Structure 1
Amino acid sequence: MPELPEMETYKTLLGSLIGGQRISHVEIGREKSINVPVDRFTMQVSNQAIKTITRRAKYLIFQLQDGKCLLLHLMLGGWMFFGKEEDKPNRTIQVKLSFGDKHLYFIGLRLGYLHLLSSGEIQEEFKKLGPEVLDPDFTLDAFQNLMHKRRGTIKTTLINQEVLAGIGNGYSDEILWHAEIRPDKKINDLNDQQLSRLYHSIQFILKRGIEQGGYMENPLYKGDEKTGGYQFYVYDREGEACSRCKASIIKTEISSRKTHFCPNCQQ
């Protein structure tokens, strides 16, 4: 599932590709991917210019010129491609937004969606989300105060969107490996030094993920050399040697989520 770095990469690239551009045509291939009747969605979105594209947690918000917004959540398996008809992937398209002879294709929205909402409805959607972990106001003190109020395992807490916004299964493993903390460790067993390490690892790993274009397998457009450059340290590397201590990375399950870590150097 795309996480904060993937959505931030999409935001930046799409901002340069379609920011300020007018949506010339709309096609809906799967009605369940949108939240209003097809005719209404098509009528209200067609001929609207994309004013801005912003990100909150794992969501993208396309603000339209009339004040309405398109809220995108890719969920598991969702991705996008921008380009001409002859360049599009040979995949089922759920939603297609056209910008002249180029199109933004939304693919794999089996669980994901593109909803047409007012700015007030967007804020309501975001009400339960935790803080943005890369926000300058989210300081070490703020993080420690938040963690001191929590219970349970650290892995489960990191991926709880109501606690911290934007971290998912893959990057939580990366963060905990970088901080040298076991994913099944209880939060109340972590001292302030470990919490400090964890905070700085969140900052380091997510910024590294953004710099390297996230881990999406599919390019956003033909010739895209930015998307998908991130290489995992531990996630999905079961049986491989830990790059820090050379012990074998193992896979386990925590709260029904596959979890990868080094049993030797994560304590």
Structure 2
Amino acid sequence: MPEFPEMENYRMLLGQHIINIPITAVTVNREKSINMDADAFAKALVGARVVYVERRAKHLLFHLHDGRRLLLHLMLGGLLYYGPESERPDRTTQVEIAFGDNLLYFMGLRLGYLHLLSVKESEAAMGKLGPELLDRRMTAERFAELLRGRRGALKSLLVNQQVMAGIGNCYADEIAFEARLLPSALVQNLSPEAVGRLYDSVRKVLTEATEIGGYMEMPFMAGDTVTGRYNDCCKVYDRGGEPCLRDGGTIVKTELSGRKVFYCPECQHEG
């Protein structure tokens, strides 16, 4: 599932290419991916302009010139591609939005969605999300306060969108590894020093992953050499049975609360 770095990468790229270009056509191939009749959706968007693209947690908000917003959640397996008809990706598209000669293709939205909302509706949809972890207002002290009084496994906390926004399976494991903490470590037992390491690890992993385009499996557009570069940088995620890059131990793959988990039992600990 695309997480903070992937969606932030998309946000930056979209901001470079679609801002203030009038939408000239809309094609809906899967009506369940949107929140209204397909014809009404297309009619409402043609002629509109995106004036700003915002990321909130794992969502993108396309701010339209008239105040309405398109809310995108790619969920599991969702992808974006931008280019002319001649570069149409060899995949099924659920929604296509044309900006002049180029189209923004929305793919993999079997579980994801693209909803046209009012400001009030979009704010309600985002209302229960936790704070952004790379926000300049997120200090080590505020991060520690987020954890205070929480109980349960570290990974379960990291992926809880109502506590902290934007982290999913991949980066939860990478953050735990960077902090030398087991994903199963109990949050209530973490020392202040361990919480400090965790805060530093959150910022380091999310910043580095964003800078090199996250782990998406295909480029955003022709010539894009950034998107997906983090695929080869994961230290533990999807590396079960392989040697740990830090101490040579063997990466373990298991499950925790129904989620797959990757960690090194040699260099990751309870606190």
| TM-score, scaled relative to structure 1 | 0.99
Which stretch has the larger CA shift, 135-144 or 165-174?
Answer: 135-144
Give the deviation of 1:218 after TM superposition: 0.7
Q: Matches of residues 75-94 of structure 1 in structure 2 within 5 Å?
A: 75-94=75-94
Asked if residue 5 in structure 1 is aligned to residue 5 in structure 2, the reply is: yes
Match of 1:150 in 2: 150
Identical columns (%)? 49
Q: Point out where structure 1 has 5 or more consecutive residues left out of the alignment.
A: none
Q: CA–CA distance in 1 between the matches of 2:38 and 2:87?
A: 26
> Structure 2 counterpart of 1:67, which letter?
G
Q: CA–CA distance in 2 between the matches of 1:196 and 1:31?
A: 46
Give the deviation of 1:55 after TM superposition: 0.4
Contact 2:21 2:100 survives alignment (8 Å): no
Counterpart secondary structure, 1:106: strand
Q: CA–CA distance in 1 between the matches of 2:128 and 2:26?
A: 31
Q: RMSD of aligned C-alpha atoms?
A: 0.7
Contact 2:236 2:264 survives alignment (8 Å): yes
Match of 2:139 in 1: 139
Give the deviation of 1:43 after TM superposition: 1.1
> Structure 1 counterpart of 2:241, which letter?
G
Q: CA–CA distance in 2 between the matches of 1:129 and 1:150?
A: 16
Asked if residue 129 in structure 1 is aligned to residue 149 in structure 2, the reply is: no
Give the deviation of 1:52 after TM superposition: 0.4
> Structure 2 counterpart of 1:245, which letter?
D
Give the deviation of 1:242 after TM superposition: 0.8
Q: CA–CA distance in 1 between the matches of 2:164 and 2:149?
A: 13
Give the deviation of 1:203 after TM superposition: 0.2
Q: Point out where structure 2 has 5 or more consecutive residues left out of the alignment.
A: none
Give the deviation of 1:108 after TM superposition: 0.6
Q: Matches of residues 1-267 of structure 1 in structure 2 within 5 Å?
A: 1-230=1-230, 231-267=233-269
Contact 2:96 2:106 survives alignment (8 Å): yes
Give the deviation of 1:36 after TM superposition: 1.1
Counterpart secondary structure, 1:248: coil
Give the deviation of 1:223 after TM superposition: 1.2
State the Cα deviation string for residues 7-34 of structure 1 (Å, max 9, x = none): 0000000100111211110000000000
Give the deviation of 1:241 after TM superposition: 1.0
> Structure 1 counterpart of 2:256, which letter?
I
Q: CA–CA distance in 2 between the matches of 1:265 and 1:229?
A: 26
Q: CA–CA distance in 1 between the matches of 2:256 and 2:136?
A: 30
Counterpart secondary structure, 1:111: coil
Q: CA–CA distance in 2 between the matches of 1:89 and 1:116?
A: 24
Give the deviation of 1:240 after TM superposition: 1.0
Give the deviation of 1:46 after TM superposition: 0.7
> Structure 2 counterpart of 1:241, which letter?
P
Q: CA–CA distance in 2 between the matches of 1:41 and 1:67?
A: 16
Counterpart secondary structure, 2:229: coil
Give the deviation of 1:209 after TM superposition: 0.5
Counterpart secondary structure, 1:125: helix
> Structure 2 counterpart of 1:24, which letter?
T
Counterpart secondary structure, 1:145: helix
State the Cα deviation string for residues 33-69 of structure 1 (Å, max 9, x = none): 0001112111111110110001000000001111100
Moved beyond 4 Å, runs of 4+: none
Total equivalences in the alignment: 267
